A and B are shown apart, each in its own frame.
Chain A
Amino acid sequence: MRLGFILLLLFPLWTRAAMTIDISGGEQSRIPVAISPFAGAGDAYRVITDVVGADLARTGELKLVDISDLQPPLTESIDPRFSVARQRGAEAVVLGKVNPLSNGQIEVSFRLMDAIKQTQLAGYSYTANATQMRAIAHKIADVVYEKLIGTPGVFSSHIAYVIKHGKQYSLQVADADGQNVQTVLRSKEPIISPAWSPDGTKLAYVSFEKKKPVIYVQSLTTGQRRVLANFKGSNSAPSWSPDGSKLALVLTRDNSGSQIYVINADGSGLKRLTFGGGIDTEPDWSPSGQSLLFTSGRGGSPQIYMMPASGGMARRMTFQGNYNVSPAWSPDGKSFAYVQRTDGRFRIAVMDIASGQTQVLTQGGFDESPSFAANGKMIVYAARQNGHGVLALVSSDGKTKVHLSDVAGDLEEPAWGK
């Protein structure tokens, strides 16, 4: 039985979109936390309170306790009203202040309090430009999450994806909540398969601007880009080694189908890894650097295989169904997410590598392109909603699902970075 409910968070700055969170599995497992509206600047910086709350709620591991009716907002645990948060069930309380400085910068400070013991669990102060309030809110949420859950938060991380709007394709990078969108590349031709460098400073991707798939690497700091692979035939499916020195990729240059190769990040040292004549594609480099997961049609249907990153014997990993594709390692290397098709429906599943046990995480019909957050707790994927492409999140236990975005155009090919 599923104890589901839907929480709608409406953002004033976010006119087009509503984030839908669907949490199943019971309320008891979620830690109740109250966020007092950040005080000191009226409603001008309400975005901080909103973003911290949305970040924490989106995980499905924390539950927000509303104390926004306490006016003026709580800022001190010695305030006699502090007990209200506890009475409403909060186990932790976030108290925050916003202080505009004379130089135009904003100082934001917060303290995370144990609601029962009234002791401080964490406290930080940040100074930044007024345009960086969302970034600061994500940092605060990261601290609160790590203190309460014990795992680093990923709210300050970024997601790359492709948005298709009419005949226009854009490679974009957004914050982990889908906001603060930056366009990396605009093209009249398709773009697919963005892949983050391990240090989060570069994206490799496949662009069709030369009327064929060519792999580029682009710096996000300078915007400069270069061709990584433009061999005869198709060039696609880049995946970085965990040390960032190499990429696995798929080429057709040897006229023997789509095959997996490895190339140095500077474009030198091309080495072929697979030697079938059919389809080997979607390599994904393991966190340890030792192995590659990939999709192959060698058994008659697309299935996921694993092989040493130096090449050699491949081991078949998936056996259920006749369409299992797009493997994505979990950050701890113990499992992987992938897309499986059942009865014509594409859904996200995870496999525990040691046991071979699988779990289907999503129930959509067009769920594709899974990619893990760095802390392994959430998976971003591409879904379809109201006939167009959106980004969605699912927790790696399948209990929490979030539709991140509902903007004009089709969002596809998400990749979760640092």
Chain B
Amino acid sequence: MKKAVLSLVVVGLLAGCSTAEKKPAPIVDSSQRDAAARAAAAKAAADKAAVEANALNQSQLSGQANGGSEAENLFQKSIYFQYNQYDVSDQYHSVLEADAAYLNAHPNVKVTLQGNTDDRGSAEYNLALGQRRADAVRKALNLLGVPESQMEAVSFGMEKPRAEGDNENAWKQNRRTDIVPQSE
């Protein structure tokens, strides 16, 4: 977990650097202690990601005749996990950067992070496992500058499978965290 989040921050910084003027190498930020540097990193990532977010939004809108709100189109994303694991894989960094950018730009938007598991084992233990997956995404977004007050990490455990079936193909679709805007 920790390692994944650290590398996420670094990727965010590099992305920021590529579009802005050169800055000193941000090695210190990976300590997670330098709040100012972390905020700067998040902002840099946000500046870049905002463009991607818009582009994504446009394409989604064009593909959806009856698209929902802007936030709904932006989110409704899934982060998938390995069996019994809750590390956010590197492949989701750009997704999370885009979401963090959007949330930073729209402080009134709140999201629910819904953790899920496959349906093997205890309902309550799976609920706790799903919570870890939701919390992993919450922490990753928090490191990208999204305040806790904008997020709620909850778990559906094994109760809301996306795919039915006792096979790996179904299970892997169910090991995920969905990022869902709160509709109020």
Contact = CB atoms under 8 A, between A and B. Distances in A.
Interface string A140-176: 0000000000000000000000000000000000000
Given A255-B148, A279-B128, A213 B122 contact: no
Contacts of A16: none
Given A212-B112, A281-B128, A193 B123 contact: yes
B152 interface: yes
Query: How many interface residues does chain A have, given as a range?
Result: 35 or more
Contacts of B131: 233-234, 252, 257-258, 279
Contacts of B124: 192-193, 236-237, 250, 281-282, 295, 325-326
B44 interface: no
Nearest to A338: B122
Contact of A325 (B121, B138, B152, B160): B121
Contact of A212 (B123, B125, B135, B154): B154
Query: How many interface residues does chain B have, given as a range?
Result: 20 to 34
A306 interface: no
B143 interface: no
B158 to A, nearest CB: 9
Dominant SS at the A interface? strand
Nearest to A322: B84
Contacts of A398: none
Contact of A326 (B122, B129, B155): B122
Contact of A258 (B122, B128, B138, B148): B128
A32 interface: no
Given A190-B159, A208-B156, A341-B121, A255 B135 contact: yes
Contacts of B135: 252, 255, 257
B152 A212 contact: yes
Contact of B122 (A250, A255, A257, A295): A295
Contacts of A250: 124, 127-128
B176 interface: no
Contacts, number: 98
B42 interface: no
B132 interface: yes
A24 to B, nearest CB: 27
Contacts of B125: 279, 281-282, 295, 297, 302, 325-326
A323 B83 CA distance: 14
Given A211-B112, A279-B129, A412-B123, A233 B156 contact: no
Contacts of A361: none
B45 interface: no
A192 B123 contact: yes
Contacts of B156: 190, 208, 213
Interface of B: 112, 120-125, 127-129, 131-132, 135, 138, 148, 152-157, 159-160
Interface of A: 190, 192-193, 208, 211-213, 232-234, 236-237, 250, 252, 255, 257-258, 278-282, 295, 297, 302, 323, 325-326, 339, 341, 346, 368-369, 412-413
Given A236-B124, A281-B124, 10 more contacts: A192-B157, A192-B159, A208-B159, A208-B160, A213-B156, A233-B154, A234-B127, A252-B154, A258-B132, A325-B125
